[in-house]
Structure 1
Amino acid sequence: MTAAEANPAMTAVCLDDVRAAAEAVLEPAVRDFAEGGSGTEAVLAANRAAFADVALVPRVLTGVTAADTGAKLLGSDAAMPVAVAPMAYQRLFHEDGELAAARAARTAGIPYVVSTLSSHRMEDIAATGATTWFQLYCLRDRGKNHELVARAEAAGCEALMVTVDVPVMGRRLRDVRNGFALPDHVRAANLDTGPGTEAHQSFGGASALAVHTSAAFAPGLSWRDLAELRARTSLPLVVKGILDPRDARAAVDAGADGIVVSNHGGRQLDGAVPSLRALPAVAEAVSGDCEVLLDSGVRDGTDVLKALALGARGVLLGRPVLWGLAAGGEQGVERVLDLLRTELGENMTLAGCADTTAAAGLRTERTRTHAFPPRS
């Protein structure tokens, strides 16, 4: 067997190649779990269309020969302005799951965000040596929330990211049609759940994961809950799931150190605004008072550059990491991140940007009538 046959991700020349390799090996229901969105999935398409709607205006004669992609995200040095997004149940895609992805993030020199619903314990993920942030879904059991935050601090996580856009799980029709449930070997390791929980049971005509999250997650969160988290931890606090500039400003006023402009990868509100389209107004609203990150729809280095130009400090990378895991485990994720950094560096050089600060100063133009207003 050739090296390419053993790990097809290693011959990929772009992230779409990794996606094709992953689709060739994933079970259809797991592929649908990763790729699907809520409702009509219009937001999935809109996220990608939003990136296509932005044209960059490059600078010339800047003397740049090789761009520096380095960045600082929430006080952590990063080799590029990218962190691995929090994503649940990564053992669905590879036996090593989050451990493999975190090791790849360590190799790439970028932060890795540990999900509350990770299929390995946060302590074991942090032990890989990656820079780790912990993402919190607020649970009905408030004592469990406090325990998770304390565990994240003790494990050495360098930031706390609270997701605020899941009062209920969006209706993901692919999972409903598949009656999707977790296999016995995959569990929410941070919550000490086993095969007997709702996530592992078949509910004919329903997603077992939706049933499980409905039972576990706290509905009706408010700014008071965010204030409680702010008072409970000294870690940088990041609020994930912001689209409205008013909410961005409220998060800053409540003590947030960062926000993630996100529509949850098109998996929550069907019909929500694309994250990239919401970004400029959010960045203007916070006026540099906190760091602004973006996720949902990032698929190559050009997308990262566009996000920087529109006001983000960096991006979270989601589904492509899962493709890398499925196609080639740790090496597959390494390939994804290496390709992304190569693309970003080349495009920064072509745009005349010596570093990410210069990238933030690029002008953009709209290419379609529903694109973006110019940034001031």
Structure 2
Amino acid sequence: MLRATSQRDLRVELFGETYETPVLMAPVGVQSIFHEDKETGLSEVCAEIGVPYILSTASTSSIEEVAKASGNGPRWFQLYWPQTDAYTISLLNRAKNNGFKVLVVTLDTWALAWRPADLDHAYVPFFKGVGNKIGWGDPVFREHFQKKYEATPEEKILEASQEWVGDVFSGAAHSWEDIALLKKHWDGPIVLKGIQKRDIETVLISRKHPDDARLAVEHGVDGIIVSNHGGRQLDGAVGSLEMLPEIVEAVGDRLTVLFDSGIRTGVDIIKALSLGAKAVLVGRPAIYGLAVGGKQGAKQVLQGILADLDQSMGLSGIANIEGCNMSMVRRCQYAGDVKSSN
């Protein structure tokens, strides 16, 4: 206490760019199922408050529509990596040409997980054409589909859904060697999201493993996002925050570590930054706001989180983001954390 923290500086530098806060809007697909404002509305308000918007490949708005809606706002593109290289290259070119500066490559969703609630309701919006806007609007995909079916995707919705989803969520994982293709066709920063270990542990869990983080360094990517996909890809996945310090230690300053999964409050952000993340992604809270109040609801949620971060930093004696470091956190074990001997 008794520090000059009445004015806080939330700015961070990521990949050579200065951003107003350490908060980014996480890539969330199929946003039209929450509200008609969808990705275009959310990207618009993110631009208004200086939060970088990360557009999901599984979008109900096109790359071009989101670029227009977000104007001069910072925007990144998240890639669900197709198996067909021509599709991948076309998506990267479209994103580059529309002002998306950073490529976020999701690694843990080359197949959709076992999701009982969705299975119970036979709910896969992609097979109704919802969430395929970026793929169906891609000129390379449309040309391929036209030759094969002599129709447009809009004329054969089921077939087009099977073609696109089957290529993007194919059940076949890419390899580390495939990173070279991305580097060849993307001249900006590349960030890998959802680093996971691929062999079976004594207990079956998904781990954002330090060995994989080291491989990311070796293959020349610029950053990683420590994430378990919000717990939607593997039941029993270890908490992202649990692995964050170990991964930060493994890679040092050789690449930028970002954090995703479970950010709800300003204090959550301080904890992640103190454990070594350079910025955090916010997902569900903003989408809840979108569902309740459209783009203005999402905007208020994000503004509330930023205000909470600013106020909590001041109350913790932190004047700037550099002040969020290991000296600010302690691991505390409470009675409820200890197993009973009975």
* Same structural fold, with TM-score higher than 0.5 when normalized by the shorter chain: yes
Contact 1:305 1:359 in 2 (8 A): yes
Match of 2:55 among 84, 90, 114: 114
Q: Which whole-Å CA distance do the structure 2 matches of 1:172 and 1:268 have between them? A: 8
Match of 2:169 in 1: 217
Contact 2:129 2:158 in 1 (8 A): no
Is 1:149 paired with 2:92? Answer: yes
Match of 1:289 in 2: 254
Q: Which whole-Å CA distance do the structure 2 matches of 1:91 and 1:195 have between them? A: 21
Q: Which whole-Å CA distance do the structure 1 matches of 2:41 and 2:315 have between them? A: 33
* 1:290–1:95 distance in 2 versus 1, CA, 3 Å: same
> What is the Cα deviation at residue 283 of structure 1?
0.6
Deviations 1:271-305 (A, max 9, x none): 11111111001111110111111111111111111
Contact 2:194 2:225 in 1 (8 A): yes
Match of 1:23 in 2: none
Contact 2:80 2:168 in 1 (8 A): no
Contact 2:82 2:167 in 1 (8 A): no
What is the DSSP-based 3-state SS (H/G/I as helix, E as strand, rest coil) of the residue aligned with 2:113? coil
Contact 2:112 2:169 in 1 (8 A): no
Contact 2:191 2:222 in 1 (8 A): yes
Match of 2:4 in 1: 63
Q: Percent identity?
A: 38
Match of 1:312 in 2: 277
> What is the Cα deviation at residue 69 of structure 1?
1.5
Match of 2:130 in 1: 186
Q: Which residue type is aligned with residue 289 of structure 2?
A: G
> What is the Cα deviation at residue 199 of structure 1?
9.8
Q: Which residue type is aligned with residue 111 of structure 1?
A: P
Q: Which whole-Å CA distance do the structure 2 matches of 1:279 and 1:131 have between them? A: 26
What is the DSSP-based 3-state SS (H/G/I as helix, E as strand, rest coil) of the residue aligned with 2:329? strand
> What is the Cα deviation at residue 98 of structure 1?
0.3
| RCO higher in structure (CA 8 A, sep ≥6) | 1
Count of residues paired in the alignment: 304
Unmatched 5+ stretches in structure 1? 1-59, 202-207, 372-376
> What is the Cα deviation at residue 66 of structure 1?
2.5
Match of 1:167 in 2: 110
> What is the Cα deviation at residue 104 of structure 1?
1.2
In terms of mean alpha carbon deviation, does 357-366 or 179-188 score higher? Answer: 179-188
> What is the Cα deviation at residue 124 of structure 1?
1.2
- Counting only pairs closer than 5 Å after superposition, residues 85-96 of structure 1 correspond to structure 2 as 85-96=26-37
Q: Which residue type is aligned with residue 89 of structure 1?
A: V
Match of 2:309 in 1: 344
**Could you state the TM-score of these two structures normalised by the residue count of structure 1?**
0.76
* 1:194–1:349 distance in 2 versus 1, CA, 3 Å: farther
Match of 2:321 among 339, 356, 370: 356
Q: Which whole-Å CA distance do the structure 2 matches of 1:287 and 1:199 have between them? A: 47
> What is the Cα deviation at residue 196 of structure 1?
4.5
- Counting only pairs closer than 5 Å after superposition, residues 76-91 of structure 1 correspond to structure 2 as 76-91=17-32
Q: Which whole-Å CA distance do the structure 1 matches of 2:154 and 2:12 have between them? A: 39
Deviations 1:340-363 (A, max 9, x none): 110000111111111001113543
> What is the Cα deviation at residue 61 of structure 1?
2.5
Match of 1:241 among 186, 194, 207: 194
**Could you state the TM-score of these two structures normalised by the residue count of structure 2?**
0.83
Q: Which residue type is aligned with residue 229 of structure 2?
A: H
Match of 2:182 in 1: 229
Q: Which residue type is aligned with residue 247 of structure 2?
A: V
What is the DSSP-based 3-state SS (H/G/I as helix, E as strand, rest coil) of the residue aligned with 1:304? helix
> What is the Cα deviation at residue 212 of structure 1?
7.0
Is 1:126 paired with 2:91? Answer: no
Deviations 1:147-187 (A, max 9, x none): 00111111110011111112321111111111113295734
Contact 1:169 1:214 in 2 (8 A): no
Q: Which whole-Å CA distance do the structure 2 matches of 1:331 and 1:76 have between them? A: 27
Q: Which whole-Å CA distance do the structure 2 matches of 1:200 and 1:152 have between them? A: 22
What is the DSSP-based 3-state SS (H/G/I as helix, E as strand, rest coil) of the residue aligned with 1:135? strand
Match of 2:244 in 1: 279
Is 1:265 paired with 2:265? Answer: no
* 1:84–1:173 distance in 2 versus 1, CA, 3 Å: same
Q: Which whole-Å CA distance do the structure 1 matches of 2:74 and 2:155 have between them? A: 30
* 1:196–1:306 distance in 2 versus 1, CA, 3 Å: farther
Q: Which residue type is aligned with residue 169 of structure 2?
A: F
Contact 1:100 1:325 in 2 (8 A): no
In terms of mean alpha carbon deviation, does 74-83 or 247-256 score higher? Answer: 74-83
What RMSD, in angstroms, separates the aligned Cα atoms of the two structures? 2.3
